[in-house]
């Protein structure tokens, strides 16, 4: 399972109004483990940043003047994201800017090349309704140090978001994925394999007492995270009409 934590810095807030991407960072996770195979570009946006945006990222027109233009890095970026899920905080913002850049080059939308787009801001709002869910707030909530973050930067923010995402999704499902990852990357490539399709699994239905005990545990987890735990967020399957 390959996932990319992605973040951008831009000249302003309005992609449709002509604002451009000036920094792009991606951090790679494979089977929920950081690989160090990251992608990072400073980009010449071919325009000045708005004063408010400049105060956020600190990347001046002079600094960016000799950096590659988006057209020069787009092929490497498309190859890097091919088939991977993208994890983005406030995904509509970054995807909107990427799609605007792709449109300028006559390319189809970003989702043509990647897998699922996961918005951690939307998930955080589900988990912590009514609370601040900025990246800084989530770092504080999950005990992730961001003391070195004085200005926003695409790669630094991606690295922080990777830690936040792993903390947000840590649980029984992720532990199984971690075990699969260890098995797939282990040194014993000749270990015997089990044909899972040939197995008949016995399904044991929980009793009423067991369901009650399970709900009590989830209630305790909700109190511990001061919101809805991840097991409360699974959508109810639509009924057939």
pLDDT in tens, 54-95: 998 899 999 999 999 999 999 999 999 999 999 999 999 999
Residue 92 has φ and ψ, to the nearest 5°, of -55, -35
Q: Is 152 a catalytic residue?
A: yes
In a domain, 143, yes or no: yes
Across all residues in the chain, what is the average pLDDT? 84
| Residues in binding site | 7, 9, 57, 157
In a domain, 223, yes or no: no
In a domain, 134, yes or no: yes
| Residues in binding site for a divalent metal cation | 7, 9, 157
Catalytic residue, chosen from 40, 89, 148, 152, is 152
Cα angle: 133, vertex 123, 115; to 5 degrees: 125
In a domain, 231, yes or no: no
pLDDT band at 204 (very low <50, low <70, confident <90, very high): confident
In a domain, 208, yes or no: no
What is residue 176's predicted lDDT score, i.e. its pLDDT? Answer: 43
In a domain, 192, yes or no: no
Say if residue 136's pLDDT is above 80. yes
Mean pLDDT for the stretch of residues 152-173? 84
In a domain, 202, yes or no: no
Say if residue 22's pLDDT is above 50. yes
Mean pLDDT for the stretch of residues 128-150? 86
Residue with the bigger pLDDT between 154 and 96: it is 96
Nearest Cα neighbor of 127 from 187, 177, 170, 76 is 170
Give the number of domains in the chain: 1
Distance CA 34, CA 170 (A): 15
What is residue 151's predicted lDDT score, i.e. its pLDDT? Answer: 56
What is residue 189's predicted lDDT score, i.e. its pLDDT? Answer: 47
SS (H, E, C) 122-164: HHHHHHCCCCCCCHHHHHHHCCCCCCCCCCCCHHHHHHHHHHH
In a domain, 188, yes or no: no
pLDDT band at 148 (very low <50, low <70, confident <90, very high): low
* Cα torsion through 144, 150, 151, 155, rounded to 10: -40
Q: Look at 18-32, 189-203, 217-231 and tell me which has the smallest mean pLDDT.
A: 189-203
What is residue 147's predicted lDDT score, i.e. its pLDDT? Answer: 73
Q: Name the pTM for this structure.
A: 0.69
Classify residue 181 by burial, with Cβ atoms within 10 Å: 0-12, 13-18, 19+: middle
Q: Which domain holds residue 133?
A: 2-175
Q: What is the CATH number of the domain that holds 108?
A: 3.30.420.10
């Amino acid at each position: 399972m390959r996932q990319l934590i992605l973040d951008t810095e831009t000249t302003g807030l309005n992609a449709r109004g002509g604002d451009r991407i000036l920094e792009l960072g991606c951090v790679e996770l494979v089977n929920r483990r950081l690989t160090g195979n990251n992608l990072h570009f400073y980009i010449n946006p071919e325009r000045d940043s708005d004063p408010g945006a400049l105060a956020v990222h600190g990347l001046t027109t002079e600094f960016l003047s000799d950096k590659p233009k988006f057209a020069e890095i787009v092929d490497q970026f498309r190859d890097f994201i091919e088939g991977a899920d993208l994890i983005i905080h406030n995904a509509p913002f970054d995807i909107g800017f990427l799609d605007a850049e792709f449109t300028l080059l006559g390319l189809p939308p970003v989702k043509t090349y990647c897998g699922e787009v996961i918005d951690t801001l939307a998930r955080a709002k589900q988990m912590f309704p009514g609370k601040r869910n900025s990246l800084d707030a989530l770092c504080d909530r999950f005990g992730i140090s961001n003391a070195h973050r004085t200005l926003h930067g695409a790669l630094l923010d991606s690295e922080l978001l990777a830690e936040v995402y792993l903390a947000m999704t840590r649980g029984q499902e992720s532990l199984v994925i971690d075990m699969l990852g260890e098995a797939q990357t282990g040194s014993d490539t000749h270990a015997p394999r089990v044909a899972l399709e040939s197995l008949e699994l016995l399904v044991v239905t929980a009793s009423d007492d067991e369901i009650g005990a399970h709900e009590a545990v989830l209630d305790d987890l909700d109190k511990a995270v001061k919101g809805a735990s991840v097991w409360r967020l699974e959508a109810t399957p639509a009924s057939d009409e």
